[in-house]
Amino acid sequence: MHVTETRIKGVPRSSRYFQTPPVMLLLIAIGFSVLQLVLGDGNTPAAHCSQNNNGMTDEVRQFFVDKHNEYRSLIAKGLATNKVGGFAPKAARMFKVVYDCDVEQTMAKWAKTCQTWQAPSKDRNGYGQNRFSIRPIEPNRTIVAMKAMENWFSQLAQIGVPQENMLNLNVFYRGVWYYTQLAWQWSSKIGCAIQDCSTFTYAGCEYNPSGNILGSMIYEIGEPCKVDADCKCTGCTCSVDEALCVQPFATTKKPTSDNTLTQDPIPVPVSYKAKWPAKPVRARMSELPRSMIAKGLAKDPVGGFAPKAARMMKMIYDCDVEQTMMEWAKTCQTWQAPSSARKGYGQNRFSIRPIEPNKTIVAEKAVNNWFSQLVQKGVPQENMLNLNVFYRGVWYYTQLAWQWSYQLGCAVVDCNGFTYAGCEYNPSGNFLGSMIYEIGEPCQTDADCKCEGCGCSQEEALCVPGVIPIKPVYWVPPEKIEVHCDLDNGQTDELRQIWVNQHNQYRSLVAKGQAKNGTHGGFAPKAARMLKMSYDCAAEASVMSWIKNCIFKHNPGSDRPGYGQSLWSGSGSIFKANMTQLAVWSVHSWFNELPTHGAPADNILTWGVFNTGIGHYTALAWQNTHRVGCGVVYCNQWVITGCEYNPPGDVIGSIIYEMGDPCVTDADCKCTGCKCSQEEALCIPPSS
């Protein structure tokens, strides 16, 4: 017997193929006999569909229901073996499933096509769907049902789900999507079908409401219900023996909105009805969280609290931004709108099942959901948005907290079976390599806000925009420009200042012992005498003469005597970025080799260390390198950036920098004419 697990198109295969031994067939046969004795001919199974003529029997329907509830009960009691963590966590409010003949009809219709991939959402009324096939054709429907259920549930024991119990892309692509749908707390109605195809038997179940909503809990974690009130759904009763919440059978109501917070439900063609909460709710949708962040009162599991914000802008409502969000919300498509459809605005989205008529509740739950990403997943204290931070799953929080996003427009729309909410932000946030917001004590005076026409609200710790539009900013702009080069190559002095500031920002982080080290000791050691960099126009001319050839490799050292070199390139949407963004991303990419690959505890650069792929970081952090010149060149649909360093670093067998507490006095720098910048923890050479 050849058993296969079907898969979703585009998802890596995780199915397992095995031969069923004869003894297993005997055990299955015995199990089926016991099942017949239990049901008996005189019993009327609870799963009965008199109108459906598709080959399913009430006994097989009842088996599917019972097996689902058996597994859901095991999960709820904390007895389900989980490869990650021993056992899956207990479920606080796991619903007991009931059989639904309408759901069966849609599953049976798809099964008759013998197409083993997932049905399009429109062909399954937006229901969730699990599928299974067995070769050769198996005439015993109960055996097929049993093997399908075992196959789906086995993903927990064979692959595992992290104890956080949150379905994100990383969890989904482990290959556990059948288990997560089976265990989805709010999927309380099922309908199944079994179909003989040309050389195999095909089985599947559909679930209403659908599960597998990215960004949502698979089920609420906690001690299972003891009394009816624990279920927190109208008319539900607690089955203590099963540890399941039983919905009213006559109505089989869907779970209430208190239990069904989701972010990305399966979209279906719908009619919608758009309504707005009262104006005061609009105004405060993102205001309170930003004030909490600015005051340093926002809990962050990475560091206790998110750092204070020096110049967090207060949100103002914008009806034009609302209009673009409303246009997208009316489509009831819960994925991110293309940039062209949202005029380049940032966008956060949220949904709740079933339809919630109170739009104010939806608005509050949406903002709470986005803000909760900080306390649930955390953001490192550096407060820099890089790919590692983004993939923690905090993109809604970072957009909500993006300092320079100060215009807000939102929409709430009723779709088919759920209510959809979203906000768009102008200017957009979530730019990789950028600060989420500037860290520091919040404003005390209007001048602290450093934006024309802005006023300081000390009570809120927010900067209030004036009538003058604020220029979109995707980096921390230089307070003053101290760099000038008489080079006619497209680079500006502001860009040059950004290049050198970015280098010194990271060198300061290293010197203070605040730079995360991927493999050794949590953080890179402090630097005793890290030199502050200054800009070198000759180095810029040298690197520009090379990268203008659009060749992404290092030129020979003989062509750039006395200079080290780092290069970076990008294509696609990166090609459209401006030079300042590219400078920020480039330096961040080089520095990110430290948390990604790690530097050794002795801080010595050997060939072994260099070959881990850390050479750009070591060039950036090389203590005695104190002059840098950089450039950007747009090639044919791609872009190249580069910096050259004087004197060059990356000397094999040498220490990257001297370890120790950073300077407190000029004498600590131990270099003629050097000055100690205690604030930066850097030594400023006289050439600067």
| Cα–Cα distance for residue pair 685/688, rounded to 1 Å | 6
> 444 and 498 in one domain?
no
> Which residue in this structure is represented by tokens 């209030």?
464
Q: Which residues pair with 642 in a beta bridge?
A: 567, 631
Question: For the chain, what is the mean pLDDT?
Answer: 82
Q: CB of 569 within 8 A of CB of 552?
A: yes
Over the stretch 495-512, which tens digit does the pLDDT of each residue have?
A: 899 899 999 989 999 999
Mean pLDDT of 435-461: 88
How far is C-alpha 578 from the chain's CA centre?
A: 25
What domain range is 525 assigned to?
493-684
For residue 574, the model assigns a pLDDT of: 60
Q: Given a cut of 50, is residue 318 above it in pLDDT?
A: yes
Domain holding 187: CATH number? 3.40.33.10
| Cα–Cα distance for residue pair 446/476, rounded to 1 Å | 19
Return the exposure string of 49-65: e unless at least 16 CB atoms fall within 10 Å of the residue's CB, then b: beebeeebebbbbbbbb
> 589 and 460 in one domain?
no
Closest CA to 642 of 563, 524, 531: 563
What sign does the dihedral 110-113-116-122 (CA atoms) show? Answer: negative
Structure tokens at 149: 């259920």
Closest CA to 78 of 69, 68, 88: 88
Q: In this predicted model, which residue has the larger pLDDT, 415 or 215?
A: 415
Domain boundary among 446, 464, 482: 464
Any domain includes 243: no
For residue 249, the model assigns a pLDDT of: 58
For residue 30, the model assigns a pLDDT of: 29
For residue 521, the model assigns a pLDDT of: 60
Closest CA to 263 of 134, 194, 350: 350
| Cα–Cα distance for residue pair 231/225, rounded to 1 Å | 6
Residue 455 to residues 310, 312, 404, 494, Cα–Cα distance (Å): 13, 11, 15, 26
Over the stretch 512-564, which tens digit does the pLDDT of each residue have?
A: 998 888 776 678 999 999 999 999 999 999 999 999 999 999 999 889 888 99
Domain boundary among 201, 222, 243: 222
> Which residue in this structure is represented by tokens 């399913």?
56
| Cα–Cα distance for residue pair 305/125, rounded to 1 Å | 44
Structure tokens at 145: 């049902």
Domain boundary among 161, 190, 222: 222
Mean pLDDT of 225-232: 94
> 300 and 156 in one domain?
no
> 424 and 501 in one domain?
no
Any domain includes 484: no
Residue 648: Cβ within 10 Å count: 18
Any domain includes 229: no
> 457 and 519 in one domain?
no
Residue 3 pLDDT level (bands cut at 50, 70, 90) = very low
Q: CB of 669 within 8 A of CB of 622?
A: no
- Mean pLDDT is lowest, of 119-123, 128-132, 133-137, for 119-123
Residues above pLDDT 70, as percent of the chain: 84
Closest CA to 153 of 327, 356, 364, 5: 5
Structure tokens at 636: 């044919």
> 373 and 317 in one domain?
yes
Residue 220: Cβ within 10 Å count: 17
**pTM of the model as a whole:** 0.41
Q: Given a cut of 90, is residue 226 above it in pLDDT?
A: yes
How far is C-alpha 336 from the chain's CA centre?
A: 13
Q: Which residues pair with 135 in a beta bridge?
A: 2
Q: In this predicted model, which residue has the larger pLDDT, 608 or 286?
A: 608
Q: Given a cut of 50, is residue 24 above it in pLDDT?
A: no
Helices (H) and strands (E) in the chain, counts: 18, 29
C-alpha angle with apex 232: 228 to 234, nearest 5 degrees?
A: 80
> Looking at the 3D structure of the chain, how many domains does it have?
3
Any domain includes 228: no
Residue 621: Cβ within 10 Å count: 28
Longest pairwise C-alpha distance within the chain: 100
For residue 278, the model assigns a pLDDT of: 30
Structure tokens at 392: 């923690």
Amino acid at 190: I
For residue 425, the model assigns a pLDDT of: 94
Q: Which residues pair with 348 in a beta bridge?
A: 423
> 529 and 399 in one domain?
no
Q: CB of 662 within 8 A of CB of 528?
A: yes
Residue 208 pLDDT level (bands cut at 50, 70, 90) = very high
Closest CA to 378 of 369, 389, 368: 389
Residue 337 to residues 370, 404, 428, Cα–Cα distance (Å): 17, 21, 13
Any domain includes 94: yes
Any domain includes 481: no
Burial of 73 (0-12, 13-18, 19+ CB in 10 A): buried
Residue 688 pLDDT level (bands cut at 50, 70, 90) = low
Q: Given a cut of 80, is residue 470 above it in pLDDT?
A: no
Return the exposure string of 595-613: e unless at least 16 CB atoms fall within 10 Å of the residue's CB, then b: bbbbbbeebebeeebeeee
SS (H, E, C) 565-621: EEEEEEEHHHHHCCHHHHHHHHHHHHHCHHHHHCCCCCCECCHHHHCCCCHHHHHHH
Any domain includes 474: no
> 452 and 309 in one domain?
yes
**Strand order from edge to edge, sheet including 128-135:** 2-4, 128-135, 201-208, 189-196, 98-99
| Cα–Cα distance for residue pair 362/161, rounded to 1 Å | 29
Instruction: Give the helix ranges, DSSP H, for 611-686.
Output: 615-621
Q: How far apart are the first and last CA of the chain?
A: 77
Give the long-range contacts of residues 657-661, CB within 8 A, separation 24 or more: 657/510, 657/527, 657/528, 657/529, 657/530, 657/603, 657/621, 657/622, 657/623, 658/527, 658/528, 658/529, 658/623, 659/525, 659/526, 659/527, 659/528, 659/603, 660/526, 660/527, 660/528, 660/529, 661/526, 661/528
Q: Which residues pair with 631 in a beta bridge?
A: 642
> 46 and 120 in one domain?
yes
Q: Given a cut of 50, is residue 474 above it in pLDDT?
A: no
Closest CA to 518 of 437, 657, 617, 584: 617
For residue 132, the model assigns a pLDDT of: 95
Phi, psi of 167 (to 5 degrees): -90, 105
> 290 and 189 in one domain?
no
> 286 and 147 in one domain?
no
Strand spans (E) along 110-269 = 128-135, 166-167, 189-196, 201-208, 216-217, 237-239, 244-246, 261-262
> 313 and 201 in one domain?
no
Q: CB of 349 within 8 A of CB of 413?
A: no
Q: Given a cut of 70, is residue 46 above it in pLDDT?
A: no
Any domain includes 133: yes
Mean pLDDT of 581-604: 87
Closest CA to 9 of 145, 129, 106: 129
For residue 330, the model assigns a pLDDT of: 95
